[in-house]
């Protein structure tokens, strides 16, 4: 019997798998790793409680691996009584020696042991711990070597005029055999139209509207906006690829210290050293002529000079409710908007600056091409005062506070959320399969085999539409999966969070008045998910009645009657959130 069997009487284990791009190429897929670990668990008479998988995540640190962190959290909470973690290779557990040893120390403190099935080592023995130190250092060296070799290869490809990976810009398709680009004539029309309309004098937003009216936007990522926006136009106008140049190294990775976690993190920033930016002549045809490009760049420079931002005290104002207020017309979150004080024609004095919230939906969102009709400006100070009054009112209601206290003592059950996540992931995989098939059909659509030109165009348009719909569907599914993950994580932290919320709400107004502007914003964003407004059409806004409801971030269950602050939908009470109604609060 091994030392670990002496130390532990339980035989429950977790399986952790991870893949990055390099490992997927080497053949160590998530499925292969899991299968190997399950065989090992069966042979060792272990019961697998859960499997945690991080797909496409680097092993250089823990922060970028949500499933790994969830596994450590479950171990800390002793969720399943697991006493072992099985990994295919130690490098799957981590490629950073410092992080790996720190996590091994964490496991040891919680009486949990790591087994590497492929390497044949565990950390339950002195020899096993020593071997893991050696393997951790080797894994980190391997990661550094991979990065250096990959970077050197990319630099060489850029210098030789080859495409360096990633999605090609609009107007081009990728020729993977020759590592170069080929002009996609249908998309190239979009690029030419952008430069043409820009030189005719149209603004970036007007060009985006023109493109949405005459073209269908090519989708490059699953979460791409299906409509053109002003930033897409500016990006095309600045992309040197269209004049046949390869530019590589405009951004670099910089290590910074996170102010909250105090840990080092990698962040992509603009490259400030021009010598490290590679520009070479690409081995592909260009879409835009040099003279057109030069005229467009001169005009771009004039635009930049004209709209260069100057230091404005109003621009430093902190809007506590940005990202919370929902537009009653289009559903978009309202943005902050400063209004400079006007000069009085009588006194010649400048009035005070004011700060408002307004909807800036200019039609460049998936909701449609029309601009949002909600043109009201809501005063920041008056709106915040109403929000504070509502929350302060709630903190004085006994039933309301009792409901929160009861909720603090309730248990956490995430089984339904995990079932929901599995369903969403299955739908996402099905959508990926369908997308692959449709893309194959589109790529092999033979115009010569279809003699009827109109029929060919109909089939082509149908496939394009279905592919675009799938991209939109996958983006929604991906967003839903992330939301469920957030709910699962929040569920584990609910008791601590609710205790804090209870403490804050009990003395909310006193706390809030002592905060600075940044703290006030952080506080409101911790408490509130969204704020719904009445759709005012009158000239004057009644701020005492402008707020329709407030939805809090934390769950609140109260089945009793007579509580004017709680809105309970008739569906699933477990998903109920607090809604404070302004009208009811005054009853």
∠ Cα 306 210 328 (to 5°):
85
Average pLDDT over residues 59-67: 71
State the DSSP string of 512-534: HHHS-HHHHHHHHHHHEEEEEE-
Average pLDDT over residues 72-94: 86
187 is written with which tokens? 């998309």
Q: Which residue has the higher pLDDT, 538 or 301?
A: 301
Contact 512, 388 (CB under 8 A): yes
How many C-beta atoms surround the C-beta of residue 44 within 10 A?
16
434-476, pLDDT tens digit by residue? 888 887 777 776 655 556 666 777 777 787 788 888 888 888 8
CA 326 remoteness from chain centre = 20
Residue 15 bridge partners (DSSP)? 51, 86
How far apart CA 364 and CA 501 sit, in angstroms, is 38
Alpha helices in 11-160 (DSSP H): 21-26, 30-43, 66-76, 90-93, 97-109, 126-159
251 is written with which tokens? 């951004």
pLDDT of amino acid 207: 93
Across 210-224, 297-311, 487-501, least confident range: 487-501
When pLDDT is cut at 50, 70 and 90, the band that residue 416 belongs to is: confident
Across 20-34, 107-121, 145-159, least confident range: 145-159
- How far, CA to CA in Å, does 102 sit from each of 11, 133, 257, 263? 24, 11, 18, 13
Average pLDDT over residues 293-304: 89
Contact 261, 307 (CB under 8 A): no
How far apart CA 34 and CA 53 sit, in angstroms, is 9
State the DSSP string of 385-402: HHHHHHHHHHHT-HHHHH
When pLDDT is cut at 50, 70 and 90, the band that residue 567 belongs to is: very low
277 SS3 class = coil
Contact 389, 542 (CB under 8 A): no
Identify the residue whose tokens are 């309202």: 334
How many C-beta atoms surround the C-beta of residue 12 within 10 A?
16
Residues 234, 240, 242, 246, Cα dihedral to 10°: -140
Q: Is 202 exposed, middle or buried (0-12, 13-18, 19+ CB in 10 A)?
A: middle
42-54, pLDDT tens digit by residue? 888 889 999 998 8
Contact 16, 85 (CB under 8 A): yes
């Amino acid at each position: 019997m091994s030392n670990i069997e002496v130390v532990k009487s339980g035989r429950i284990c977790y399986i952790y798998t991870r893949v990055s791009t390099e490992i997927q190429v080497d053949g160590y897929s998530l499925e292969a790793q899991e299968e190997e670990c399950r065989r090992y668990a069966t042979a060792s008479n272990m019961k697998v409680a859960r499997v945690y998988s991080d797909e496409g995540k680097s092993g250089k640190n823990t922060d970028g691996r949500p499933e790994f962190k969830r596994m450590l959290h479950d171990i800390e909470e002793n969720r399943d009584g697991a006493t072992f973690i099985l990994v295919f290779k130690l490098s799957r557990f981590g490629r950073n020696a410092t992080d790996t040893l720190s996590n091994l120390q964490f496991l040891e403190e919680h009486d949990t042991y790591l087994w590497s099935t492929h390497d044949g080592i565990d950390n339950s023995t002195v020899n096993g711990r020593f071997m893991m130190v050696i393997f951790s250092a080797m894994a980190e060296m391997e990661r550094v070597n991979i990065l250096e070799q990959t970077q050197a290869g990319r630099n060489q490809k850029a210098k030789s005029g080859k495409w360096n990976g990633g999605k090609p810009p609009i107007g081009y398709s990728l020729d993977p055999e020759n590592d170069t680009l080929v002009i996609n004539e249908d998309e190239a029309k979009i690029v030419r139209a952008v430069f043409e309309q820009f030189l005719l004098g149209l603004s970036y937003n007007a060009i985006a509207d023109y493109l949405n009216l005459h073209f269908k936007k090519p989708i490059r990522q699953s979460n791409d906006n299906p409509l053109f926006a002003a930033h897409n136009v500016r990006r095309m106008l600045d992309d040197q690829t269209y004049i046949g140049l390869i530019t590589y190294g405009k951004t670099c990775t910089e290590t910074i210290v996170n102010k909250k976690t105090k840990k080092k993190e990698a962040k992509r920033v603009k490259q400030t050293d021009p010598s490290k930016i590679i520009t070479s002549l690409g081995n592909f045809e260009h879409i835009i002529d040099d003279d057109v490009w030069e005229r467009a760049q001169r005009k771009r420079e004039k635009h930049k000079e004209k709209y260069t931002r100057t230091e404005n005290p109003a621009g430093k104002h902190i809007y506590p409710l940005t990202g919370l207020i929902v537009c009653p017309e289009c559903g978009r979150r309202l943005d902050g908007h400063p209004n400079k004080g006007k000069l009085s024609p009588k006194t010649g004095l400048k009035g005070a600056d004011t700060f408002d919230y307004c909807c800036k939906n200019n039609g460049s969102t998936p909701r449609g091409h029309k601009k949002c009709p909600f043109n009201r400006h809501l005063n920041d100070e008056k709106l915040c005062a109403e929000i504070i009054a509502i929350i302060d009112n709630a903190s004085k209601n006994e039933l309301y506070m009792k409901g929160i206290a009861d909720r603090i003592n309730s248990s956490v059950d995430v089984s339904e959320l995990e079932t929901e996540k599995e369903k969403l992931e299955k739908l996402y995989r099905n959508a990926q399969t369908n997308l692959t098939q449709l893309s194959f059909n589109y790529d092999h659509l033979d115009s010569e085999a279809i003699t009827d030109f109109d029929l060919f165009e109909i089939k082509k348009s149908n496939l394009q539409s279905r592919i675009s719909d799938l991209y939109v569907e996958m983006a929604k599914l991906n967003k839903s999966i992330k939301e469920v993950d957030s709910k699962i994580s929040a569920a584990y932290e609910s008791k601590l969070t609710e205790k804090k919320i209870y403490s804050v709400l009990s003395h909310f107004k006193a706390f809030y008045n002592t905060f600075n502007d940044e703290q006030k914003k952080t506080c409101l964003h911790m408490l509130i998910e969204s704020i719904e407004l009445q759709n005012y059409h009158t000239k004057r806004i009644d701020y005492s009645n402008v707020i329709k409801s407030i939805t809090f971030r934390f769950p609140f269950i109260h089945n009793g009657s007579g509580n004017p602050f709680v809105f309970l939908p008739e569906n699933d009470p477990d998903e109920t959130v607090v809604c404070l109604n302004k009208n009811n609060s005054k009853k």
